[in-house]
Amino acid sequence: MRFRKVVRRSSTVPRKPPAKPLQPPPDAVAPLHPVLRRWIAESFGWLTQAQELTLPHILAGRSVLLSSPTGSGKTLAGFLGVLDHLVRAHDAGTLGDQIHCIYISPLRALTYDIEKNLTPALRGIGLEEVIRVGVRTGDTTATDRAKLRRRPPHILLTTPESLAILLPQAGWAETLCNVRFVILDELHALAENKRGAHLMLSLERLQRRVGSELVRIGLSATAAPLPLLAEFLVGQGRPCEIVEARMERRRRVEVLSPLRRDPYPPAGYTAQRVMQDIAQIIERNRNVIVFCNTRSSTESIAIRLKTALPELAGKIEAHHASLDRDVRLEVEDRLKQGDLRAVVCSTSLELGVDIGSVDCVVMISTPKGISRALQRIGRSGHSIHTESHGILVATNVNDLMECIVCAEMTRNVQLDAVKPLEKPLDVLAQHLVGMAMEGGFTREDLLKTVRRAFAFRDLAEAELERVLNYLEGGGRSLEKQYRESFGKVMWLDDRLALPSRKVERDYLANVGVIHTEGMVSVILGKRRLGQIEEGFLKRLKLEDI
């Protein structure tokens, strides 16, 4: 049997782009401060549907979940109401040196991206020197951390792990007491894993410290079912508005299969068979993102494409989480400026990092999920009225069938259902140590606070006691002889407390649920390229590339 190129094209029928009005619709922007209304009129002319529908809820102090396609202005939709609050606080003289809004992203790269995008907005409203934006992630230097503590920003950009580090530290306690808004970007990327459960417990601890209800703003590109995601966002027993901005946008999805005799051998990776086809796609377009499912294949395919396109080798780069931050930022900036023809990446460019306009997205095999496929395809044609173009590359016969199904389900936008974790007790154990650092928690306070988080809404008292007993002495098998060695918490006047400063240091150094291995830095000349795992290094031989 001879194989032929299999192509599945799908597109949604686009609505006719509305004529750009000369000024923003008055009903949408009327409640905003005059300087914001003027800036919107001069910069955009009008608000997108996502922004129009979300803004009233934020201004009214209601938590909201916004689900909207990539390129619909979700980030500005989340920040518009916050900027209005800050501008009015400045006018009233109540801005102070306190954090008013925390923006949380699952990716460090997103926080830096948001910082770059907020600066023009603050400059446009004339408050660039007044409203401060600060970034606190694992990349933040000790010097910058000290500066943030001495003079806190009004908008803090951070990650779930860094927020958990800040909460129990005495130097941040007063600063965090006045937080009003929390923006959670790419919420769907957190909902199904331990990082999401970890973050929601942090928000409940922050909620207890603030006292009044936080305005939680969840931003998600592709997710379902939305009511479940909304409950995950706000916690047990709290209201949440759901905004779904459906932006009709053309989407073209193709499946690529090699046109050769016996294109798929019975076993083995066959991406090399289609390397010339991918090279032709890069030659035909101004800029292309090639998604791989692993970092090793990202590096391999980047090298193969450089070899296949020697005249464009300087304009093809790799991008993944193991690369040094400076290397990643350089690639992102070059892509946004149009200086690169192709970027080969793993999942690092999958979320909302601003990379400008991309002509085409190539996916080596399927991303193992319709939501992720839509997310990746949405990185191309990154504006409201342009077409998204995605190509799924089948690497073997089974993969070919999977690619065809993925393309069909992508056309029908048949999203994977979100399935949040239920009661991850290792996450709970970490937070109980953090609560002991904060001090003042009784057993009743612990149970009440923890149960407000979605993942722990059904936590039984007996389950909480089991975790507390484990933390007090290492469990039944160890507590009698090694309680002093293994104890992480203790009770002092019926309040949870720490037995030593060593536990506090261990908590701050190890908090989080991202599995890490021993890492080795990779240096080329005097330049640090990134890090690789020790286990990977052990498998390398001399002259391996």
- Report yes or no: 162 and 108 within 8 Å, Cβ to Cβ: no
388 or 260, greater pLDDT? 388
Q: pLDDT (tens digit, 9 = 90+) per residue, 441-470?
A: 999 999 999 999 999 999 999 999 999 988
**Which structure tokens are listed for 222?**
């592709």
Q: pLDDT (tens digit, 9 = 90+) per residue, 73-105?
A: 888 999 999 999 999 999 999 998 899 999 999
Q: pLDDT (tens digit, 9 = 90+) per residue, 200-238?
A: 999 999 999 998 899 999 998 777 889 999 999 999 889
- Rg over CA atoms, the chain: 25
Q: pLDDT (tens digit, 9 = 90+) per residue, 241-253?
A: 999 887 656 778 9
Average pLDDT of the residues in 479-488 = 69
Predicted pLDDT at 264: 63
- Report yes or no: 99 and 153 within 8 Å, Cβ to Cβ: yes
Q: How far apart are CA 150 and CA 154, in angstroms?
A: 13
Instruction: Sort strands 495-497 and 490-492 into parallel, antiparallel or unpaired.
Output: antiparallel
Q: How far apart are CA 402 and CA 396, in angstroms?
A: 10
Predicted pLDDT at 248: 55
Average pLDDT of the residues in 299-311 = 92
Predicted pLDDT at 83: 96
- Three-state SS for 428-461 is HHHHHHHHHHHCCCCHHHHHHHHHHCHHHCCCCH
Average pLDDT of the residues in 277-287 = 91
Single pTM value for the model: 0.82
Predicted pLDDT at 259: 58
Q: pLDDT (tens digit, 9 = 90+) per residue, 345-399?
A: 987 787 666 676 788 999 998 888 887 888 888 888 755 556 788 999 987 778 8
Task: Give the 3-state secondary structure of residue 136.
Answer: strand
Burial of 38 (0-12, 13-18, 19+ CB in 10 A): middle
Average pLDDT of the residues in 427-434 = 96
Predicted pLDDT at 270: 57
Question: Which residue in this structure is represented by tokens 């686009």?
Answer: 14
178 or 261, greater pLDDT? 178
The sign one gets for the Cα dihedral 33, 38, 44, 45 is positive
Average pLDDT of the residues in 180-198 = 92
Which of the four pLDDT bands, split at 50, 70 and 90, describes residue 165? very high
The mean pLDDT value of the chain amounts to: 84
- Report yes or no: 235 and 200 within 8 Å, Cβ to Cβ: yes
